[in-house]
């Protein structure tokens, strides 16, 4: 970066100020709604509709937090655990499956390989909503509709992860290393598990994170598959509570507090794994 700074002619102060103002306003646009959520979570119901946003006279963050977990016999806690199960387990299994497949696409040769890869890419384009009805009918045929598996199995499917896995495999796993392992007499699968997977680490984390976000966001599939509220993820649960709020306003503060808590896991995941997903984005973008 410093190279460009020194070689570019100094832009006029006016241009510099405009650029900073545009970026500053954009950051305000993205940050203020989150800040509003944080402030609103500290308000009780009357204050939410009444007083100024910034007055802290009626600070009831902890009351709201208590109300949230007490509402309807602690449903929210159950939803939170469900979401974590769907997202963390699903992303872990799903990313391993996709990256293994992407690696195989990169390192092995067989007939019609590129056609098969084309099929994987085509799957990226297909809207979720198109698959929902047939998936529902298949799940009810198999007797797993309205169970954990009805949501868990479809979210494992991540064709974009295969695409990324192939790119990462090209970039991170040199063929010479594999040849050397073969000469040492390693079996193909042992070689994958012991040598290649370690080199694919950052890529695997990236795919995991993308899939974690997607599953945590998932709303349509659970809505179609689940009728038992005990199996709901947070997204669907808050949707249900929000529809109750228009009738009984005591739901407003808990929906807001619930939304705030639902944002935390992904922020945490992105912050902790920042080093990895940044490199992952570059690989996806430059290709």
Partner 1 sequence: MTTTTEQPVRAPAPHTAAPADRARRTARRRRLAACGVLMTPFFLLLTAVFLIPVGTATYLSFFSDDQPGLGFGPERTVFVGLRSYAAVLTDPTFLGGLGTVALYCLIYIPLMVTGALVLALLLDSGVVRLRAWAQLGLFLPHAVPGIIAALIWLYLYTPGISPVIDLFARADITIDFLGVHTVLPSIVNIALWSNLGYNMVVFYAALQAVPREVIEAAVVDGAGPVRTALRVKTPLVRASIVMVAMFTLIWALQLFTEPMLLSQSSPMINSRFSPSMYIYDAAFTRNNYSLAAAASVVLLLFTIALSYGVTRFTSRNAAAEETR
Q: Which of the residues 226 through 285 are near partner 1 (CB under 8 A)?
A: 234-235, 238-239, 242-243, 246, 252, 255-256, 259, 262-263, 266-267, 269-270, 278, 281-282, 284-285
Task: Please answer whether residues 249 and 269 qualify as being in contact, where contact means their C-beta atoms are separated by less than 8 angstroms.
Answer: no
Shortest gap between Cβ of 70 and partner 1 (angstroms)?
21
Task: Identify the residue whose tokens are 């977990």.
Answer: 69
- Subset of 61-90 contacting partner 1 (CB under 8 A): none
φ, ψ of residue 206 to 5 degrees: the values are -60, -50
The distance of closest approach from Cβ of residue 135 to partner 1 in the complex, given in angstroms and rounded to an integer, is 5
- Least separation in angstroms between CB 248 and partner 1: 13
Nearer to partner 1 (CB atom), residue 41 or residue 67: 41
Q: How far is CA 160 from the centre of its chain?
A: 13
Going from the C-alpha of 58 to that of each of 27, 61, 178, 247, the distances in angstroms are 29, 9, 64, 24
Using rule CB under 8 A, residue 138 touches partner 1: yes
Least distance to partner 1 from the beta carbon of 140, Å?
12
- Residue 55 φ/ψ region, left for φ over 0, alpha for ψ in the -120 to 50 degree band, beta for the rest: beta
Round to whole Å and give the CA distance between 60 and 248.
Answer: 19
Residue 60 binds to partner 1 (criterion: CB under 8 A): no
Size of the site for partner 1 (CB under 8 A): 101
State in angstroms the smallest separation of the CB of 188 from partner 1: 3
Residues 84, 85, 92, 97: which binds partner 1 (CB under 8 A)?
97
Identify whether the C-beta of residue 221 lies closer than 8 Å to the C-beta of residue 151.
yes
User: Which residues lie below 8 Å from residue 259, measured CB to CB, with a gap of 6+?
Assistant: 37, 238
- Distance of alpha carbon 176 from alpha carbon 153, whole angstroms: 37
130 sits near partner 1 (criterion: CB under 8 A): yes
How far apart are CB 26 and partner 1 at their closest, in Å?
A: 6
Site for partner 1 in 194-233 (CB under 8 A): 213, 216-217, 219-220, 223-224
CB 59 within 8 A of CB 39: no
**β-bridge mates for residue 43, sequence order:** 59
With CB under 8 A as the contact rule, the residue among 62, 110, 184, 185 that binds partner 1 is 110
Q: What is the rounded distance in angstroms from the CA atom of residue 42 to the CA atom of residue 45?
A: 10
Q: Which of 128, 172, 195, 273 binds partner 1 (CB under 8 A)?
A: 128
Of 127, 185, 248, 275, which one interacts with partner 1 (CB under 8 A)? Answer: 127
**Shortest Cβ 73–partner 1 spacing (Å):** 22
d(CA 101, CA 144) in angstroms, rounded, equals 27
> Footprint of partner 1 on residues 144-173 (CB under 8 A)?
153-154, 156-157, 159, 162, 170
- Nearer to partner 1 by C-beta: 67 or 241? 241
What does the alpha-carbon distance between residue 81 and residue 69 come to, in Å, rounded to a whole number?
13
**In the block, residue with structure tokens 């802290």:** 56
């Amino acid at each position: 970066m410093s190279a460009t700074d020194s070689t570019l002619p100094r832009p006029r102060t006016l241009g510099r100020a405009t650029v900073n103002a545009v970026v500053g306003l954009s950051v305000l646009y993205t940050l203020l709604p989150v800040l509003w959520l944080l402030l609103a979570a500290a308000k009780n119901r009357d204050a939410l509709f009444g007083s100024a946003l910034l007055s802290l006279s009626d600070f009831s963050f902890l009351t709201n937090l208590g109300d949230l977990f007490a509402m309807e016999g602690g449903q929210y806690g159950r939803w939170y655990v469900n979401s974590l199960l769907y997202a963390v387990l699903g992303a872990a299994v799903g990313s391993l499956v996709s990256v293994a497949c992407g690696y195989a696409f990169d390192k092995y040769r067989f007939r019609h390989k590129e056609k098969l890869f084309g099929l994987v890419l085509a799957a990226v384009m297909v809207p979720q909503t198109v698959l929902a009805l047939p998936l529902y009918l298949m799940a009810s045929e198999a007797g797993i509709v309205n169970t954990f598996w009805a949501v868990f199995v479809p979210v494992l499917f991540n064709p974009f992860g295969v695409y990324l896995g192939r790119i990462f495999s090209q970039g991170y796993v040199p063929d010479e290393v594999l040849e050397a392992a073969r000469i040492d007499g390693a079996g193909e699968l042992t070689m994958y598990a012991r040598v290649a997977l370690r080199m694919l680490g950052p890529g695997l984390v990236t795919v995991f994170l993308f899939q974690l976000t997607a599953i945590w966001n998932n709303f349509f599939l659970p809505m179609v598959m689940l009728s038992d509220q005990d199996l709901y993820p947070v997204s669907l649960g808050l949707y249900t509570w929000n529809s109750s709020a228009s009738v009984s306003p005591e739901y407003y503060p808990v929906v807001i507090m619930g939304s705030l808590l639902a944002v935390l896991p992904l922020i945490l995941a992105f912050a902790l794994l920042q080093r990895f997903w940044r490199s992952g984005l570059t690989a996806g973008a430059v290709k």
